[in-house]
Amino acid sequence: MAVVKSVKRKGNSKIAKSFKQNWQLYIFLLPAITYFFVFHYIPMYGIQIAFKDYYANLGMFGSPLVGFEHFERFFDSYYFWRLLKNTLILNAYNLLLFPLPIIFALSLNELRNGAFKKWSQTLTYAPHFISVVVVVGMLVAFLDPNTGLINHVVRLFGMEPIHFLTSPEWFRHIFVWSGQWQSLGWGTIIYLAALAGVNPELHEAAKVDGATRFQRIIHINIPTILPTIIILFILNIGNFMQIGFEKVLLMQNNLNSETSDIIQTFVYETGLLEGQYSFAAAIGLFESLINIVLLVTVNQIARKVSNNSLW
């Protein structure tokens, strides 16, 4: 990162010189640039349909221009505020659990028993490989009010069975925690790699000074992996608003839609199922705008506070 910054500040001739010196490196960059250009920049011309009334046979360029009509329709929609609120809360809730894999990685790192460590790692990785549809199927089976395992336990305690899947108040918890169950182990991988890079001499020195294990974690391990944490956090923010929408859609029903109705499921229902591509594109664009604003803000803050940032 530092290299890129320093290059920027030097003049044109310097850039040319750097090209000349390192042209092999730039060749290596070329495939990546091509990929982004072809698959991520060129398709952006499609954004224009958000401002048009899209007719498939007239094409993107030929369709009549309607300006902000689709945006207005979305903002005027009865469900706009609910959609926005649900999307933000669900994502924020999900983000709130960001520290869990870190804590888990730190604990795993402290384990001395190799076999147990491997065993628990494998055990927590496994759910990552289950497909969303299957996970939701499992949720439906376990949480069923009549036949579900959880409700059998609830009944054992003499309580009324809980309608987990049809209660708006339960939706967010089920969604976020089942997601966490799936991704917790997988999420630790990068942190464990970062922890492997901690200088053992620091720990030895700290031991000599009489630091407890907990103190060593706080003062050695965490500061070492802090840059990783911050970068991953910013990357997570970049995916904010893009929570796994298939899962939401599969878990959604009329009774929990008060909390489960999010922008993406709305786009899917009105845009794709009803063939209103322009409207869907407009909402998608709006979502991306929120995303960019968040990303830039968090990045700025991170840079100010910790000197770590994406750019």
Partner 1 sequence: MKLKSFLTVFFLMVVVVFALSACNSEKTDTDETENETEASDVNKTGMPIVEDSLDLNFFAYKPAQNEDNDWNDILVWNHYRDMTNINVNWDLVSLDALEEKRNLALGGGQLPDAFYLSQVPNSDLLRYGQQGVFIPLNDLIAEYAPNLTKLMEENPTIKEALTFPDGNIYSMPSLIEEDFLSLRLSARPWVNEAWLKELNMDIPETTGEYYEYLKAVKELDPVGGGKTIPYGGTDIQELVQWLSGSYGVMNRGPSNGANIDVDPSDESKVRFYATSDEYKKLLQYINKLYEEQLIDQSIFSIEWGQFLANASNNLYGSMIFYDPIELFGEEIGSQYNSLAALEGEDGHQQYNKISSPVWATSNLVITEENPSPEATVRWMDHFYSDEGAELYYMGVEGETFENVDGEKQYMDHILNPEGDMTFEQALAKQLTWLGSINGIIKADYFQGGESAPQSMAAAEKIEPFAADEIWPRFTFTEEENKVLQSAGQDISKYTEEMRDKFITGKADFSEWDQYVETIESMNFDEFLNVYQQAYDRYQEN
Which listed range, 100-108, 275-283, 284-292, 297-305, lies at the site for partner 1 (CB under 8 A)?
275-283
Mask 78-97, x = binds partner 1 (CB under 8 A)? xx------------------
The secondary structure of 28-71 as a DSSP string is HHHHHHHHHIIIIIGGGGGGGGGGB---TTTHHHHSPB-TTHHH
> What contacts 276, CB < 8 A, 6 or more positions away?
270
Q: Residue 255, interface with partner 1 (CB under 8 A)?
A: yes
Q: Which is nearer to partner 1, 191 or 286 (CB)?
A: 286
Quick one: which of 50, 49, 66, 67 has its CA closest to 58?
49
Which listed range, 118-126, 175-183, 269-277, 284-292, lies at the site for partner 1 (CB under 8 A)?
269-277
**Are 65 and 52 contacting, i.e. CB atoms less than 8 angstroms apart?**
yes
Q: Which is nearer to partner 1, 178 or 309 (CB)?
A: 178
Query: Helices (DSSP H) in the chain: which residue ranges?
Result: 2-9, 12-36, 59-62, 69-76, 80-96, 99-110, 114-125, 132-143, 149-156, 168-196, 200-208, 213-216, 222-238, 245-251, 257-260, 263-266, 277-306
Q: Residue 239, interface with partner 1 (CB under 8 A)?
A: no
Q: Which is nearer to partner 1, 138 or 301 (CB)?
A: 138
CB of 29 to partner 1, least distance (A): 10
Q: Residue 35, interface with partner 1 (CB under 8 A)?
A: no
Q: Residue 48, interface with partner 1 (CB under 8 A)?
A: no
Neighbours of 234 (CB within 10 A): 20
CB of 269 to partner 1, least distance (A): 9
Q: Residue 55, interface with partner 1 (CB under 8 A)?
A: yes
Question: Packing angle between helix 168-196 and helix 80-96, nearest 10 degrees?
Answer: 40
Q: Which is nearer to partner 1, 23 or 177 (CB)?
A: 23
Alpha-carbon gap, residue 3 to 272, rounded angstroms: 44
> What contacts 18, CB < 8 A, 6 or more positions away?
7
Neighbours of 204 (CB within 10 A): 10
Two structure tokens written together for 124? 């927590």
Q: Residue 138, interface with partner 1 (CB under 8 A)?
A: no
Q: Which is nearer to partner 1, 12 or 307 (CB)?
A: 12
Q: Residue 58, interface with partner 1 (CB under 8 A)?
A: yes
Out of 5, 20, 40, 304, point to the residue binding partner 1 (CB under 8 A).
20
Q: Residue 276, interface with partner 1 (CB under 8 A)?
A: yes
Which listed range, 71-79, 101-109, 222-230, 294-302, lies at the site for partner 1 (CB under 8 A)?
71-79
Q: Residue 133, interface with partner 1 (CB under 8 A)?
A: no
Question: Packing angle between helix 168-196 and helix 99-110, nearest 10 degrees?
Answer: 40
125 three-state secondary structure? helix
Mask 157-186, x = binds partner 1 (CB under 8 A)? ----x-x-xx--------------------
- Note the residues at the interface with partner 1 (CB under 8 A): 15-16, 19-20, 23, 26, 34, 37-38, 42, 55-59, 73, 76-79, 137, 140-141, 144-147, 161, 163, 165-166, 253-255, 257-258, 270, 272-277, 279
